[in-house]
Amino acid sequence: MTLSILAPIDPAPHYRAEPAEPGSRTMAQLRVEADKAHGFGKPFVAAVLESLERVLPVVPSLLHMVEDWPGDLAPAGVIFRLNAGLHALARSGRHPQLQRIYAAAGNGLVPDAAQLDLAIALALAEGEADLGGYIARPTQTNEVGRIAGLAAVLMELNARTVMPSEILELGSSAGLNLNLDRYACNVFDTVAGNPRSRVRIAPRWTGRKMPSAPVPIAATRGVDLHPLDVAKARHRERLHAYVWPCETARDQRLSAAIAIARRHPPRVDRGTATAWLDAQLASPQRESVRRVVFHSMVVQYMPEAERIALRRTLARAGAAATPQRPLVAVGLEWSGDRKAVELRVRQWNGGAHDGAAAIVAWCHPYAEWFDWIGLPDA
């Protein structure tokens, strides 16, 4: 359905964009991300990204900020940052044309392209400084739906040997995932966590069904280079800006998770992942407690040197693991070619296959569905 809420005004001459250079990597990446949005069934987001391809040159400073990015645009999520910044402008109330269009997105309405171009061009010009700030700062998705993958791994592990888990999360953002035992998380037809929680995570499950088992949590702690504090309104708003505007249910779930975090603040330290993890893994591990390192959509932002250091840190700690003090690493990340999202698990418990990586599921980037493969045989 097409939405027409603005008068058919021809853009002012100083907002009329010339076609971008054919080789522009910014425009190429906008097309890639628009195609992905179409593939995810998000036509409004695709329309916004297609509009940005047409009108971003009206603010050369923003175009050059993206175009001159030092590194690959895709793993750094640069387009994702720009998209979130636009959503933040729409939510701010300072750009009424953009606000009206975005508000209607929750009803599944896709705006007329010319009207969307005008609204975005005006917002780019008027909100240049704010958008530059979003591009410059790291992404802050903190999607709680992704912990369904972690819950499923823990459930299958506990179907073999029940142990409470100590969760150590890398790239925690505001730490919302650290409250996983306060959420209701559906794993096939079993609910892990608190079944009465206002935060209900219910992805669609396919594949090999696992046995039902409890998922006890002993402790949680996380780290982030730039942690957010949900007690601060501007940090809460930043989290909401990273939810796609057409996803009302996901935004409401985020609000509920934030409310729980304000009552039960998660522990998130400031620091680099590997230095922090090295210190955590060096601390004594209680007997009959499973130590679990978890990360979701984090590794792509790490420099290669830190990725190597992370693997070495895990291997060093894993060498001391035993059946009574096991170590598990769970990662929900894009595949190397960025064509699929994998849930990977590595285990250390003094066995012959310690440290071997296994893909246990394929999933949606925001955990709307999981195709479960399962843990390898013990």
State the pLDDT at residue 12: 32
SS3 349: coil
- The dihedrals phi and psi of 245, each to the nearest 5 degrees, come to -65, -20
Nearest to 25 by CA among 60, 59, 53: 53
What CA–CA distance (Å, rounded) separates 268 from 173?
8
pLDDT in tens, 162-184: 999 999 999 999 999 999 999 99
pLDDT at 2 > cutoff 60: no
The pLDDT of 82-93, averaged and rounded, is 96
Going by pLDDT thresholds of 50, 70 and 90, the confidence category of residue 1 is very low
- What pLDDT is attached to residue 11? 32
- Amino acid sitting at position 374: G
Would you say 171 and 334 are in contact if contact means Cβ atoms under 8 Å apart? no
pLDDT at 13 over 60: no
Share of the chain above pLDDT 90, in %: 86
Amino acid in position 35:
D
The pLDDT mean for the chain works out to 92
Q: What is the mean pLDDT of residues 238-251?
A: 93
pLDDT surpassing 50 at residue 17? no
Q: From 339, 368, 332, 15, select the one nearest 153 (Cα to Cα).
A: 332
For 138, which DSSP code? P
Rounded CA separation 119/116 (Å): 5
The residue-averaged pLDDT of 223-241 equals 97
Residue 22 has pLDDT above 90, yes or no: no
Cβ-proximal residues to 113 (8 Å cutoff; 6+ apart), any chain: 47, 50, 51
Could you give the CA distance from residue 78 to residue 28 in angstroms, rounded to a whole number?
13
Residue ranges per domain, the chain? 2-136, 144-228+267-372
pLDDT at residue 19 in the model: 45
Predicted local confidence at residue 141, as pLDDT: 86
3-state secondary structure of 37: helix
For residues 338 and 316, is the Cβ–Cβ distance under 8 A? no
Residue 145 banded pLDDT, cuts 50, 70, 90 = very high
| pLDDT score of 21 | 57
The answer on pLDDT for 23 being more than 90 is no
Q: In the predicted model, is pLDDT for residue 10 greater than 50?
A: no
**pLDDT tens, residue by residue, 186-226:** 999 999 999 999 999 999 999 999 999 999 999 999 999 99
User: Is the pLDDT at 27 greater than 50, yes or no?
Assistant: yes
Task: Kindly report, residue by residue over 254-308, the tens digit of the pLDDT.
Answer: 999 999 999 999 999 999 999 999 999 999 999 999 999 999 999 999 999 999 9
Query: The tokens of 115 are what?
Result: 């009207």
Residue 105's pLDDT band (cuts 50, 70, 90) = confident
Joined together, the tokens standing for residue 32 give: 């890639």
Classify strands 369-372 and 357-363 as parallel, antiparallel or unpaired: antiparallel
What pLDDT is recorded for position 82? 97
Mean pLDDT score, 26-31: 96
pLDDT of residue 378: 65
